[in-house]
Amino acid sequence: MKLIKNQFHIPESLNAAKPPEIRNHSRADVRMMVLDSLTGKTDHNHFTQIGQYLQSGDLLVFNNSRTIPSHVKGYQDGNLVSIRLAKMISSNRWEALLINGKKKMGSVIRFEDHVEATINSLMNDGERVELVFSEKGIQLYDFLYRYGMPIRYEYINTPWPLHVYQTVYGSVPGSVEMTSAGRPFTWRLMKELKDKGVHQAFIQLHTGLSYYENDIWPNPEDQYEFFSVSDETAKTINDTKNKGGKIIAVGTTVVRALESAALAGSVEAKNGETNLYITENYPLQVVDGLITGLHEPEASHLHMLQAFVDKHLLLTAYEEAVREQYLWHEFGDMNFILPLGVK
């Protein structure tokens, strides 16, 4: 599949290194580029004005997975190494990325409080390892919450604490990276939308790693993620569709979960793992619109966006976002893609 790779460049000044509530006033203080998926026409607005593009009877679907402290430091053969947890396998086994360490089977990584992890195997992609921890369940969580940190990428130069990497509604811990598209929502904004008649529903999809460092990006087909769509959410989505309302996913994770639970144009309640890779020719069955951040040229998220909007229109809009100095990454500005005009 052809990527947009290298067709646009993000100047360093557009990396959002600080959360908007530090840069400005509130987490909702970000800009929003509204992109009509039918015509490619763009509108530039403030995120708090999102209600202007939604109608009574539309449905926002949020991912309420909560970020866990998935970056922890330890010692391998006396050398400091970093572990980035990628996905839980069982109560004491995790897929993880080992940074500055040796992917040697049987090698032991030692952490604080005498906790240890043994490298059990190398995953198929040759990047991740399977770790077996000496603790499990509550004891392992307790260790992670005591000593772990949120994953921070190179454009972040301040050790922001874990609570900065949460959406206001995150309440099902399990994501190793923040489900960042929902970050600008405040309870006030959610209430305003509800008062306008815009319904809300929640799913869970626990995110894996979106980047492996050293310019290596995971292939979504190799990356299985846990997701859960409840009976109640499935029913709300199907009712909304039957009544002609739009289904708006807050984040690419929601698209991945809902399309994984799609059944002939509707959604069924489902819990499981998904490696669904949505690209330009994928026929979306459920989701009409998407609220998302702005993504790097190499990110697989961009492939998913092409399922919503023609890639040339997307590229033109992204070039405009760069010109307009939109901010990138999890603390940055937003892009709302939805069908508005007449084709």
Partner 1 sequence: MKKVVMITGASKGLGRALAIAFAQAGYKLAICARGKETLTKVQSEIEQLGGEVIAVAADVSIEADVERFVSITELEYGQIDVLINNASIFGPGPSLLLDYPVNKFQNVLHVNIMNPFFVTRRVLPGMLTKGSGSIINVTSEAGKTGFSEWGAYGVSKFGLEGMTEIWADELEGTGVVMNMVDPGEMDTDMHKVAVPDCDYELQRPEDVMGVFFYLAETKADNGKRFEAGIYNESRKTT
Task: Count the alpha carbons within 13 Å of 219 in the hemisphere toward its beta carbon.
Answer: 8
With CA atoms as reference, report the closest residue to 266 among 231, 308, 304, 301.
Answer: 231
115 binds partner 1 (CB under 8 A): no
Please state the closest distance from residue 304 (CB atom) to partner 1, in A.
Answer: 24
CA–CA distances in Å: residue 216 to residues 88, 128, 209, 280: 21, 12, 11, 22
Q: Are 340 and 26 in contact (CB under 8 A)?
A: no
- In the complex, minimum distance from the CB of residue 30 to partner 1, in angstroms, rounded to a whole number: 20
Q: Say which residues have a Cβ less than 8 Å from residue 276's Cβ, sequence separation at least 6.
A: 220, 256, 259, 260
DSSP letter for each residue of 185-253: --HHHHHHHHHHT-EEEEEEE----S--STT----GGG--EEEEE-HHHHHHHHHHHHTT--EEEESHH
> At closest approach, how far in Å is the CB of 46 from partner 1?
24
141 counts as binding partner 1 under rule CB under 8 A? yes
68 counts as binding partner 1 under rule CB under 8 A: yes
- Under the criterion CB under 8 A, does residue 66 sit at the interface with partner 1? yes
Dihedral sign for Cα atoms in the order 204, 31, 276, 298: negative
Q: Which of residues 199-258 bind partner 1 (CB under 8 A)?
A: 202
Cα–Cα distance between 210 and 199 in angstroms, integer? 29
| Residue 125 C-beta: closest distance to partner 1, Å | 27
Q: In sequence order, what are the beta bridge partners of 108?
A: 118
Q: Compare residues 126 and 161 and give the one whose CB is closer to partner 1.
A: 161
- 161 vs 272, beta carbon nearer partner 1: 161
Within residues 19-38, the interface with partner 1 by CB under 8 A covers none
- In the complex with partner 1, the residue whose CB is nearer, 138 or 264, is 138
Q: Interface with partner 1 includes 64 (CB under 8 A)?
A: yes
Binding segment for partner 1 among 137-145, 217-225, 270-278, 314-322 (CB under 8 A)? 137-145
| Least distance CB 145 / partner 1 (angstroms) | 4
Would you give the binding string for partner 1 spanning residues 155-184, x where CB under 8 A is met?
------xxx----xxxxxxx----------
Tell me whether residue 174 or residue 245 sits nearer to partner 1 (CB atom): 174
Given the complex with partner 1, which of 90 and 281 has the nearer CB atom?
Answer: 90
Task: Return the ∠ at Cα 295 (arms to 270 and 329), rounded to 5°.
Answer: 95
d(CA 235, CA 240): 8
In angstroms, give the least distance from the CB of 68 to partner 1. 7
In angstroms, the Cα distances linking 298 to 218, 222, 255, 337 are: 10, 16, 19, 19
Position 89 contacts partner 1 (CB under 8 A): no
Interaction site with partner 1 (CB under 8 A): 64, 66, 68, 137-138, 141-142, 145-146, 161-163, 168-174, 187, 202
